[in-house]
Chains A and B, each alone.
Chain A
Amino acid sequence: MNCEQATERFVAQLAGEEVAGTDAALAAHLAACAACRDATESLTSLWSELGALPDAQPSPMLRARFEALMAGWTDAAAGTARRASNIGRMRGWLAGLLATPRPAQWGGALALLVLGFGAGTWVTMRGSDMQALRHELQSTRSMMALSLLQQRSPADRLQGIGFSARTDTPDAAVLDALFETLASDPSVDVRLAAVDALSTVRDDAALGPRLVEALGKQPSPLVQVALIDALVRRHDSRAQPLLQEILADSRRNRTVRERARWALQQLTM
């Protein structure tokens, strides 16, 4: 056995694979080759240490989310079954209609036309089952965000903000909770995270004025700077009067005033 074969055999052994008749050959090679012996000893030791690293446990929320997923899926499947049953009934009705005399067929055709238009509208309005399920997931995340934002621990509230940021489009209740957090949370870190989460919301025209209002009421210079940056990223010119006011107020924090000056330059470019 050469060094290359010994390495291959050793790696197979790591995964517990057995190759008949090679253990003795490997042992003989290791006894004769100091380099391979050192390498296998150090790697075996590391392999054992890796195996000793404990598994982490997911939070109970993972199970809650899975149960919500299953409930949403079951509801969606029940809806599909109901629709399939309705289609079956419609087929029966159609078969009966086609067996009737010609004047009735014309009447039936007209009825089908109206029915087809109605069904098309209905299908469009209902959307697909998958969309319903995704909506269910979004709702679960929103619910968790709202729940966590009420917690006493800043770490929990930060996690709540994390959940709100993972919804594709936060609903009104989550946005209200984020603005409430921004206005009154005692932790600057949590308020900064709320600004970050609000910065990721793109398609909400009403957000700009609310951010401006939040900037006007925000006591922390650090959060003020984050809010100014968020307004610049949105390129929201409605912030200009307040920014000029901040710039002119000599009692304000110097860094905030400098940031306001920079923001005004950006917004007027």
Chain B
Amino acid sequence: MTEATDDELMVQVRDGDVAPLGALFERHQVPLYNFFLRLTGRAAISEDLVQEVFLRVLKYRHTYRGQGQFRTWLYQIARTARADHYRKRWRETELADDKAAALPSLGPMASDLLETAQDAALLRAALDRLPGDKREVLVLSRYHEMRYEEIGRVLGCTEGTVKVRVHRAIKELRDIYRQMVRERRV
């Protein structure tokens, strides 16, 4: 028996049976969490935002149109939730250790793995330095396996615009990363 698609589950939720939302949460909580984590750099805020997204999915379930576009709809909600969060909390100060908590553990520090881990940390830091809109388009295209057309639907722009933005973003990231590598060597 084949597993129900996201769209089929969400249609059930929309039609009044909220239980399948549990399966949607299982499928999307980690990608959504990482989407927020890569954009905010903060673990606690990312978890809050995932929770907020699923609350909004419940609240606005009747607006879901189906047509196999659950993920697009979910990430549109995610973007709005994030924007609302920063509008509401822009004055709130974050705990200093939150940033550190955002980074996944590097695991055992064997010497042969250390440099790789440092490179990864440096690349992550370079990604953090990228302007928010560029980081967002890069995260969606690299980590969520979204085609440019789908990213365009999430961001509300054309596929051509997405391509231009991805190209600019990856070039800027390369420049930032190279600069940081040079700084580390000095």
Contacts and interface: CB of A to CB of B under 8 A. Distances in A.
Interface of A: 7-8, 11-12, 14-17, 39, 42-43, 46-47, 49-59, 61-63, 65-66, 69-70, 73-74, 77, 130, 133, 137, 155, 158-159, 161-163, 165-166, 193, 196, 200
A38 to B, nearest CB: 11
Contacts of A52: 120
Interface in B119-151: 119-120, 123-124, 127, 138, 141-143, 145-148
Contacts of A70: 18, 21-22
Contact of A193 (B25, B31, B95, B146): B95
B25 to A, nearest CB: 5
B174 interface: yes
Given A7-B167, A17-B148, A49-B123, A59 B47 contact: yes
A54 B18 CA distance: 32
A11 B167 contact: yes
Interface string B35-79: 001000001101110110011001100000000000000000000
Given A54-B104, A58-B47, A14 B170 contact: yes
29 contacts: A11-B163, A11-B167, A14-B141, A15-B141, A15-B166, A46-B173, A47-B142, A49-B123, A50-B173, A51-B142, A51-B143, A53-B123, A56-B34, A56-B102, A59-B47, A62-B51, A63-B25, A66-B29, A69-B55, A69-B58, A70-B18, A77-B18, A130-B59, A133-B55, A158-B95, A158-B97, A162-B44, A165-B92, A166-B44
Nearest to B48: A166
A-B residue pairs, 7 tightest by C-beta: A56-B104, A58-B33, A11-B167, A62-B47, A55-B34, A11-B163, A50-B142
Contacts, number: 119
Given A46-B173, A50-B123, A155-B97, 11 more contacts: A46-B174, A46-B177, A51-B143, A56-B33, A58-B46, A62-B29, A69-B51, A77-B18, A155-B101, A165-B92, A166-B48
A27 B96 CA distance: 49
A50 B58 CA distance: 33
B47 A69 contact: no
Interface of B: 18, 21-22, 25, 29-31, 33-34, 37, 43-44, 46-48, 50-51, 54-55, 58-59, 92-93, 95, 97-98, 101-104, 119-120, 123-124, 127, 138, 141-143, 145-148, 163, 166-167, 170-171, 173-174, 177
B37 to A, nearest CB: 6
A46 B174 CA distance: 7
B62 to A, nearest CB: 13
Nearest to A141: B48
Given A46-B173, A49-B123, A62-B33, A73 B95 contact: no
A119 B143 CA distance: 52
B183 to A, nearest CB: 17
A65 B170 contact: no
A165 B16 CA distance: 34
Contacts of B119: 49
